[in-house]
Structure 1
Amino acid sequence: MIPSRHLGLLMIISGATFWGLSGPMIQWLFYHTDLSSEDYLVIRLLFAGITILGFLLFSKQNIFEIWKHPKDWIQLCIFAVIGMLAGQYTFIETLDKSNAVTATLFQFLGPIIITIYVATRKKKLPTTMQLLAVVAAVSGTFYLITNGSIENVVLSKRAILYGTLTAVTFAFYTLHPKSLIKRWGTLQIVGWGMLLGGVVLWMVHRQFSFHQVAGTLTIGTFLMLLIILLSGTVSFLLYIGSLKYLSAVETGLLSSIEPLVAAILSIAWLKESFGAYQLLGGAFIVVAVILLTLPERELKQNVARERIL
């Protein structure tokens, strides 16, 4: 494997770990505050967007140049609303209607959508390693959600709806921003995407008030919110940045460690219980990650071709 590929693997695995940790932390925050999903996301998106763009300005980078190119800023706005905002909103709503692990697992239907899209566009089946990884990831997701029996799935219609939309938006924000990132850089695209997404949600969610939100927080819940904001921002930067070095299919599948991390933290911290088949599902997801990191010749040859997405 070439050095850049090593970097891409490190970025996506680290980003997935941070995101997996954030799910149970968000669930804890909702348990201990009166924050709504919209309240939380307005704060998260605005904080992250302003922080990233502020850093770029401090580094004397021209963050406004993109707005002189209509084709690019139109795509940026699409990414901000459909990718960044919708992706996070549907995930948080799924979490709120079910739990952190379920929300994370719904997100991992996204790689299946990506794989189908790539295969359809290229009119070529995925590589052997990718197919095996898909099978392992899907099997792991099934066992984690059902504990080996479909009858054990107990989700509301809203949870299923938001979960499905989470998968779709996951695929979109994985595939859509690649050309923008290559031209403008990860930090600028993610920063603008978060800031624009936060502004749009703030305009739609007129009930939002910083004063009201502050009144619902204690020192403990404020510190937790701050940790979540920082870890969430870092996870998105690492995830989107990994697209420079890895294919969309690889990035989507490698991030399948997220539900495993979320499950471990939920068991150890939130005291949620998981059955033997769910633990087996976690093992399958780890196998999927291992399959994708093996230096198979077929995989290496296809990485370059898939980067044209």
Structure 2
Amino acid sequence: MKTFRNTIIMFVILGVLVGYYYYIKATKKPAPSTNIISISKNKLSSIDIKDSNNEMAIVKSGSAYKVIKPISYAADNTNASDLFNSLTQLKYNRKFTDTDLKKYGLDKSNFTITASSSNGNTEELIVGNKSPVGNSYYAKLSNSQYIYVVDASSIENFQLTSSDTLFNYLNKDLYTISKDKISKVTYTDSFGTRYMQKNKSGKWTYNGKEISSDKSESFLNDIVLLSPTGIDPNKKINGNNSSFTLAISDGSKNEEVKFLTNDNTNYYIQKNNNQIGLYITKDQLNSLITDVKSIMK
């Protein structure tokens, strides 16, 4: 009888402990968020970054991103998505209040990051000085009293250090037709227009003569691997006799890119009649130009 009573007492104690565990779990408050921007990534529709000399803005539409400042051009979706993610996950190490913003470089800062949501909300983050102790920056939201201490590496993701920063967020695809779908290539320079195309048997030809598989494979690789070297924003040139146009087709879709040069060192890219300052070096075009000349011999 005594053993039975002890067993009941043990079950009662166990029940109390289990009940207490679930009570604590249900009433425990979550740890406070240290995120600075309250807009979630799925609501974030644009980022506008400004410093004393530069500005870059990227907007999101569906799953695609587009750079709209300082130029208008398709963005690299992976890099743009990472940037949006970095902003929504930007965290502070600590926060405090102080009315003297000048000593933190927050009174007249030219470095701002503005986040806008799909429902019209906007949050502007002002970035001030680097802290004298620790590898951090001071920052604050324009509509908040708090000053945040943020890891330097997190802030430096948003710095517009040079045109290389803009270039990093641009789509680098000159052509979208895949290599196996290309059926015709048109090359135009100061000497005229030449065509290379597949015949009915799938062999590449030039002037009715078959091109060796090695030459055609090398030539097609040159085309699909073309990628800009850098950007000189908004620079526009007319080109000289060394300029050329390369168009590819899959039978239903045609894509044309002009490679324009004034000095034969950099070729500026004009796509869809639009120049935004993207360029590719002559060294990177050498293989393509060499293969074209080899085919046209």
TM-score range normalised by the length of the shorter chain? under 0.3
TM-score if structure 2 supplies the norm length? 0.21
> Which has the greater radius of gyration?
2
Q: Which structure shows the higher strand fraction? A: 2
Larger RCO of the pair (alpha carbons < 8 Å, separation 6+) = 1
Q: Which structure shows the higher helix fraction? A: 1
